[in-house]
Amino acid sequence: MRAAWAKAGSKSIAIVLALLFTALLLLASGASPIESFRLIWQGSVGDGAKLADTLMAWVPLVLAASGLVVTFAAGLWNIGVEGQVVMGAIAAAFVAREFHAAPALIITVALAAGVIGGLLWGLLAGMLRVFGKVNEIFGGLGLDFVATGMVVYLVIGPWKRAGIASTSGTDPFPREAWLPTIGDKLSPIAVILAVLAVVGVYFLMRGTFFGLRLKAVGANAASAHIIGLSTRRYLLTAMAIGGGLAGLGGAVQAIGFQHKLVPAISGGYGFLGILVVLLAGYRAALIAPIAFFFMMISVGSTQLSLRLGLNSSLGGVVQGTLVLLTVLVGGWQAQRARRREPTEVES
């Protein structure tokens, strides 16, 4: 109970500090903080179109972050998530470009391909770690860039726009492969998938034997082995699930938002997802609201550049500051707790 209060306390201290820091930055840039915050609010949820923008950005972020909850539970730092998003997008793009059938079928197959693309890429990082002892952080980082290289290659090489090769992207996919929308942008399928993913991961981690065993392997692999769990299998499964969800995010990004393949197809949602999960304290329940808050900031920040001439990266600054301060304040409180009652160390 006390721990819960301490956690809530550290979050609020961090939020206050992050708001102060942002306000100072805004004042230093000659903008009114109150006006800026109002613009961010209006720019993200002020009307239906804005809300649709925010939700469509929220979807891939939630998908990537849900997958990361699973990999973090297994004790893995899946920095390869960015590449998994990209591979999902590439796989979906392949289906969208090459496959001709009824829209419902193409879309289903494209989304499934996205899951498989991300899953395989995640599994590759997992296998490098489990069988080759390549740390998942550096292995994943490497695979991120390999995936990015691949997408750039496709965009200016085999899949280049008719006539000119340019890094601005491929030709748009055929209309049948686009996710159907309500209004201009909002795709209910995408939103439903994100909700299903986050609810599914929450249930997986809280309600199933798989989630429980995964937590055990992540917290103490030696004990988990003695208890009778195959640690390898759980690590690989976690990477597959994490990669699959990230890949689905990439697929949605490709056929639901960009409608073509562009070099920056990942949208940075993988790395941003890591920030979301760090801020959520690795708990699935908090992913959806935090991701929504993040995307309000991101989407709303574009208003700052339109109206106040500020750089829209302010959104990223706020997000980063918030996570950094939360992590630091949390560490500081844990440190004070350790000082109060020293942990047992046997020598």
Partner 1 sequence: MSLELSDIHKHFGRIRANDGVTLRVGAGELHGLLGENGAGKSTLMKVLSGFFEPNSGEMTLDGATLSLRSPRDAIAAGIGMLHQDPLVFLPFSVLDNFLLGSPPIDRTAARTELADLARRFGFSFDPDAPTRTLTVGERQQLEIVRLLWLGAKVLILDEPTTGISASQQALLFDTLRTLAGQGMIVIFVSHKLEEIEALCDRVTVMRRGQTVGEVTLPVPIDRLVEMMFGQAVPVVGRVPGVRGEVALDLEGVSVDDRLTSVVDLTLQVRAGEVIGLAGLEGSGQRTLLRTCAGLLRTSAGSIGVAGSDVTTRGYHERIATGVHYLPAGRLEEGLIRGLSITEHFQLAHGSKGFVVPWADARRDANALISRHSIKGTPDTLAEELSGGNQQRLLLAMVPENVRVLLMEHPTRGLDIASADWVWGQLMHRVERGTSVVFASADLDELLRYSDRIVVFFGGRVLKVLDTSEADTDRLGHLIGGRDVA
Partner 2 sequence: MDSTLATIVAAAAPLIYATMGETIAEKAGVINLSLDGSIMLSAMAGFSITYVTGSVIVGFLAATAVSAIIAALIAFASIELKLNQIAVGFVLTLLAAKLSSFLGTAYVGVKGTHVPHLAIPLLEDIPFFGTVLFDHNLSVYGSFVVLIGVYLFLYRTRRGLELQGIGERPEAAFARGIPVNKLRYLYTVIGGALVGLAGAAYSLDVKFGWRENLTLNFGWIALAIVIFGGWHPMRVAFGCYLFGALQVVALKLQPVEALQGVSQILPIMPFVLMIFTLLIVYLDWFKRFGDRHPAWRGLLTSDPPAGIGKVFERE
- Which residues of the chain form contacts with partner 1 (CB under 8 A)? 207-210, 212-213, 215-216, 219-220, 222-230, 341-347
Q: Tokens 């209004």 sit at which residue? A: 183
Contacted entry of partner 2, partner 1, none for residue 6, CB cut-off 5 to 8 Å set by kind:
none
Cβ closer to partner 2: 112 or 317? 317
Contact present, 65 and 242 (Cβ < 8 Å): no
CB of 231 to partner 1, least distance (A): 11
CB of 47 to partner 1, least distance (A): 42
Cβ closer to partner 2: 31 or 110? 31
Cβ closer to partner 1: 184 or 344? 344
If you ran DSSP here, which 8-state letter would residue 182 be given?
A: B
CB of 203 to partner 1, least distance (A): 9
CB of 63 to partner 1, least distance (A): 22
CB of 208 to partner 1, least distance (A): 6
Contacted entry of partner 2, partner 1, none for residue 2, CB cut-off 5 to 8 Å set by kind:
none
| Rounded Cα–Cα distance for residues 114 and 282 (Å) | 24
| Rounded Cα–Cα distance for residues 111 and 342 (Å) | 51
| Rounded Cα–Cα distance for residues 279 and 287 (Å) | 9
Contacted entry of partner 1, partner 2, none for residue 153, CB cut-off 5 to 8 Å set by kind:
partner 2
Comparing C-alpha atoms, which of 146, 274, 249, 236 is closest to residue 193?
249
| Rounded Cα–Cα distance for residues 91 and 10 (Å) | 41
| Rounded Cα–Cα distance for residues 74 and 125 (Å) | 14
Contacted entry of partner 2, partner 1, none for residue 220, CB cut-off 5 to 8 Å set by kind:
partner 1
Count of residues for the chain? 347
Task: Say how far residue 338 (Cα) sits from the centre of its chain.
Answer: 32
Cβ closer to partner 1: 175 or 340? 340
Contact present, 160 and 170 (Cβ < 8 Å): yes
Contacted entry of partner 2, partner 1, none for residue 327, CB cut-off 5 to 8 Å set by kind:
partner 2
CB of 120 to partner 2, least distance (A): 16
Contacted entry of partner 1, partner 2, none for residue 209, CB cut-off 5 to 8 Å set by kind:
partner 1
CB of 142 to partner 2, least distance (A): 4
CB of 222 to partner 1, least distance (A): 5
Cβ closer to partner 1: 185 or 225? 225
CA atoms within 13 A on the CB side of 32: 5
Contacted entry of partner 1, partner 2, none for residue 310, CB cut-off 5 to 8 Å set by kind:
partner 2
Q: Tokens 């961090």 sit at which residue? A: 14
Cβ closer to partner 1: 173 or 234? 234
Instruction: List residues near partner 2 by CB under 8 A.
Output: 25, 29, 77, 79, 128, 132-135, 137-139, 141-146, 148-149, 152-153, 156-158, 165, 271-272, 274-275, 278, 310-311, 313-317, 319-321, 323-324, 327-328, 331-332, 334-335, 338, 345, 347
Structure token digits, residue 86? 């990209």
* Beta-ladder partners of 186: 182
* Beta-ladder partners of 182: 186
- Would the CA dihedral through 31, 34, 40, 43 be positive or negative? negative
Contacted entry of partner 1, partner 2, none for residue 275, CB cut-off 5 to 8 Å set by kind:
partner 2
Q: Which amino acid is at 19?
A: L
Those residues with Cβ within 8 angstroms of residue 201's Cβ, 6 or more apart along the chain or in another chain:
66, 67, 69, 70, 245, 284, 287
